[in-house]
Amino acid sequence: MTHSTGRRHAAALVFILCVELLLAGWWRWPWTMAPIQTAFDYGTGHATVVSERWRRSGALRQHFLPVMSIDSELPEWPYRSASSQDYSSVPPLAFILHYAATRALPSVEPVLLGKLLAQTLIVVSVLIAAWLLYGVFGFWPTLVGLSFLISGVPFMLWFANGYFAVNVSLAAQLVLTAWCAAISFASISDRHGERLPAPGRSFAVGAAIAFGGAFADYVPVFANGMACVVLVTLAALRWRERPAGRRPLLASAAGMATGTAVAGGATVVLYSLQMGFSRYRDAIAERIAIRTGHAPVAEHFDVIRRQMLLAWPRGILIILAAMLVVVASWCVITIAMRRDRESSDLALVALVALALGLGPTFIFQYRAVNYISIHWWFSGTWVVGWAATLCAFMALMERLAGARRRWSLALSGFPLVVVVGANVGFARAQSAVDPRLDSVRLYQALGRDLPADGAPLVVTDVTIHTPDLFEDFPYATAYLRRPVLLREPDGGIRLPAAEEPYNGRRMRFGGEDVRELLYRRGGDVYVAYDPDARSCRATDVPAPATGHQLVPMRVCRTAAGDLVQHPDAVLGPLKDDYACTAPPSPPGNLRVVSNERRVVELAWTAAAGRRTLQVLEAGSAPGRADILVKDVEWATTYTTAAHPGTYYARVRGRNLCGTGGASNELTVVVE
C-alpha cells in the first residue's frame, strides 16, 4: 500500500467514526438535554459547584483545589471533618476544563456545558486514537474496536452525560494506549520503510499525554508508569535487531515519566498551598483507606464480573473474554517461537495495547473494591481494554485470512454488526430517568427564574411534606448556584443536613442554625414558600418556570436581617388547613413494565393527595424491606439495574401524618 493510499484509508476511517459519533450524539440528545438526576450524573453537578465556587472566590486564589460547597460559610455539603469541604481526591484538570468552559460560554447552563465537555473528550480521544491505531492494526480492526467503544453504554451514556475526572482519565488512557502502540510499531518494524519518529517529538507527545492523565486523576499515574516500563522493556528486547528504534521508545518513556512527575508535583504544590501539606497528605491517606479494601480473590473478581454485566451484554463479554485468551495465547506463542518478523512485531504491539488498555483498569478495580462496588458506572473503565482486545483480535484474523480478501471482509464486517447491534440494543434498554427527576426539574426551573446574583435561598413550608427536598447534593445547588438554607416550622434557619447509619444507629450531619450568621452577613435573601401554606409580605420575584412545577412554589426577596429578627413581618402565618388529617391511602396497581437484561421498570397508581409522596420498598422475602426503601417523591415509575435474584416489592404513600398502607406486593424475578 502506498503512502497516499494509506492516508486516504486513514481519512476514510476518521470520517466513518465521525458519522458514528454524530449518530451517537443524536441518539442520546434527549438525555443530554435532560436534567442531571442519575448516579452517573453526580460528577457533572459536582463540577458545576466547583466552577461556581471558583467564579466567586477566584480559581487562582483557591489554588485550583476542588471543593464541596459554593459558599464556605454556608456549606451545602453536610460533613464537617477536617478536610470534608475540600475535594483533594483527584487532581484539578477536569475541574479546570469545566471552569474554563463556563468562563468562555457564560450564557450556557453550566450543567449542560459539563455534558458537552464530556462528549467532546470522547470525540477528540476517539479520533486521535483512530489515526494512531490505523497505522498499527489497519482499517477494519481499528473501526471495529472503536465502534465498540462508541456504541457501548459507558461512552454512549455514562461518560457522555456524567462529567468528572474519570472522563479525562479515560480519554488520556485511550490516547496513551494508541500512542504507545503506534510508537512501538514504528520503532520495531521497518516493513514500510518509513522514517522513525524523532526523539524530540516522541518526548513531547509522551509528556503531554502523561501530564493530561496524571493532572486529572490518580489512576493514570499507574497507566503512565506501566507505559514507561513497557516501552523501556521493548527497547531492550529489540536493542540489537533495530538499534535506531530504541531512541523514540526511550524518548517517549522519558517524556511520560517527566509529564507524570510534573503533574504530580503541580498537584501536590497547589493543594498544599491551599490546605497545608500535612492536611493534604492525611486527606489522601484517608481517601485511600476508604476506597480500597481487602477481600478474597474470588470476591474481587465477582465484584468486577457483576459490575461489567451492567455495562455490556453477557454474550458480548463472553466473546470478548474468548478473544482476549486467543490473542494473548497467539502473542506469547508467536514471540516464543519467533516464526517471522512481521508476526512477532504484531504480537509485541498487541501485547503493548492489551497491557495498557487492561492493566491500569485491573489495578484500579481490584484495589478500589469498596469504591467500585458502590459506584457501579466505573465498570465502564474497562472499555479501553476491550476496544484494544477487539483491535488486536481483528488484526490477527486479517493476518490469518491473508490474501483471501473476501474472507477478510466477512470476518471484519460481521463482528462490527454484532458488537454495535448488541451494544445499541443494550443501551436502549437502559433508563436515564431517576425518581428524583421531579425535584431536579424544580431546582432547574428555580435556578432559571432567580437572578444570577448568588444571594442565599431560604426554603420554607415545602419541606414539611417533602423533608429531603433541596438537601440533595449536588443536584440542587448545581442548578441554583447559590447557598441553600432550610427554614424550620419554629422559625430556625439551618444548613442542609444528612442522616446516615453509623455503628447501628442513625447519625445526623450538618443542619447547624445559621440565623446569627445570616444577620451578621447582611444583604438580601430569597425565600421560596408554598402559596397554599402562607403568604409573603416582601417583594415578590417573578418565577414563571417554577410556578409550573409539580410542587407549588413562589419566591419573594427580603433583607436577611428582617427574616431573622422579624419573620412575622416577612411571612404570614401558616394556614390551618395546610396540614394533613391522616396517612394516605395505599397506592394501587403496582406492576412490572419491563424486566430485560437485568433492568427492571415498575409502575403504579399514586396514592391520593396533592402532597402525598411515594415510598418504594423491596425485600428478599414477602413483607420485608431489607433491600430497598426509596423515597421516590411524586414519581409513579421506577427503573433500576438489579442483580439476579427474586425481589418482593410494594409501594406506600407518605405525608406529614405518617406512612400509609402498602399497595399490592409484586414478585420480581431477575435472571
The answer to whether residues 59 and 96 touch, using CB atoms and an 8 Å cutoff, is yes
The answer to whether residues 570 and 528 touch, using CB atoms and an 8 Å cutoff, is no
Q: What is the mean pLDDT of residues 76-88?
A: 86
Q: What is the DSSP letter of 657?
A: T
In this model, does residue 4 exceed pLDDT 70?
Answer: no
What is the C-alpha to C-alpha distance for residues 519 and 663, in angstroms, rounded to an integer?
A: 48
The answer to whether residues 320 and 386 touch, using CB atoms and an 8 Å cutoff, is yes
Q: Which three cell numbers stand for residue 457?
A: 435561598
- Global pTM? 0.85
Q: What is the pLDDT of residue 465?
A: 65
Q: How confident is the model at residue 97 (pLDDT cuts 50, 70, 90)?
A: very high
Q: What is the pLDDT of residue 559?
A: 95
Q: Which residue is listed with cell 503493548?
A: 352
Q: What is the mean pLDDT of residues 166-187?
A: 93
Alpha carbon 458 to its chain centroid, in Å, reads 30
Alpha carbon 522 to its chain centroid, in Å, reads 38
Q: Which three cell numbers stand for residue 230?
A: 513497557
| H or E segment and range at residue 273 | helix 246-275
In this model, does residue 2 exceed pLDDT 60?
Answer: no
Alpha carbon 486 to its chain centroid, in Å, reads 29
Identity of the highest mean pLDDT range in 2-16, 92-106, 363-377, 529-543: 92-106
In this model, does residue 193 exceed pLDDT 60?
Answer: no
What is the C-alpha to C-alpha distance for residues 408 and 405, in angstroms, rounded to an integer?
A: 5
What is the C-alpha to C-alpha distance for residues 252 and 258, in angstroms, rounded to an integer?
A: 10
In this model, does residue 58 exceed pLDDT 90?
Answer: yes
Q: Residue 392 — φ and ψ, nearest 5°?
A: -65, -40
In this model, does residue 188 exceed pLDDT 60?
Answer: yes
What is the C-alpha to C-alpha distance for residues 192 and 249, in angstroms, rounded to an integer?
A: 18
Task: For residue range 134-176, list pLDDT tens digits in order.
Answer: 989 989 999 999 999 999 999 998 888 888 899 999 999 999 9
Q: What is the DSSP letter of 196?
A: P
Q: Is 664 exposed, middle or buried (0-12, 13-18, 19+ CB in 10 A)?
A: middle
In this model, does residue 499 exceed pLDDT 70?
Answer: yes
Closest C-alpha among 115, 35, 30 to residue 443:
35
Q: What is the mean pLDDT of residues 91-98?
A: 96
The answer to whether residues 528 and 554 touch, using CB atoms and an 8 Å cutoff, is yes
Going 164 to 213 to 394 to 139, the CA torsion angle's sign is positive
Q: What DSSP string runs through 317-369?
A: HHHHHHHHHHHHHHHHHHHHHT--HHHHHHHHHHHHHHHHHHHHHHHHHHHTH
The answer to whether residues 593 and 584 touch, using CB atoms and an 8 Å cutoff, is no
Q: What is the DSSP letter of 536?
A: B
What is the C-alpha to C-alpha distance for residues 48 and 399, in angstroms, rounded to an integer?
A: 49
Q: How confident is the model at residue 573 (pLDDT cuts 50, 70, 90)?
A: confident
Of 114-128, 284-298, 380-394, the poorest mean pLDDT is in 284-298
Q: What is the pLDDT of residue 437?
A: 80
The answer to whether residues 388 and 182 touch, using CB atoms and an 8 Å cutoff, is no
Task: For residue range 222-265, list pLDDT tens digits in order.
Answer: 899 999 999 999 888 777 777 777 889 999 999 999 999 999 99
Q: What is the mean pLDDT of residues 377-387?
A: 88
If one compares 299 and 32, the residue with the highest pLDDT of the two is: 32
Task: For residue range 597-622, list pLDDT tens digits in order.
Answer: 788 899 999 887 666 788 999 998 99
Q: What is the DSSP letter of 447?
A: H
pLDDT mean across residues, the chain:
87
In this model, does residue 640 exceed pLDDT 70?
Answer: yes
If one compares 626 and 105, the residue with the highest pLDDT of the two is: 105
In this model, does residue 306 exceed pLDDT 90?
Answer: no
Q: What DSSP string runs through 541-587?
A: E--TTGGGSSS--EEEEEEHHHHHH-HHHHBPPPPGGGS-SSPPPPP
Q: At what angle do helices 110-137 and 139-151 cross, to 10 degrees?
A: 160
Of 7-16, 30-39, 500-509, 642-651, the poorest mean pLDDT is in 500-509
Task: For residue range 502-560, list pLDDT tens digits in order.
Answer: 666 778 888 899 999 999 999 999 999 988 888 999 999 988 876 666 677 899 999 99
Q: Is 78 exposed, middle or buried (0-12, 13-18, 19+ CB in 10 A)?
A: buried
The answer to whether residues 375 and 147 touch, using CB atoms and an 8 Å cutoff, is no
What contacts 321, CB < 8 A, 6 or more positions away?
none
**Domains of the chain, each with CATH number or no CATH:** 3-18+39-428 (no CATH), 447-578 (no CATH), 588-670 (2.60.40.10)
What is the C-alpha to C-alpha distance for residues 115 and 15, in angstroms, rounded to an integer?
A: 23
In this model, does residue 403 exceed pLDDT 60?
Answer: no
Q: How confident is the model at residue 124 (pLDDT cuts 50, 70, 90)?
A: very high
Q: What is the pLDDT of residue 170?
A: 93
Closest C-alpha among 668, 500, 517, 501 to residue 595:
668
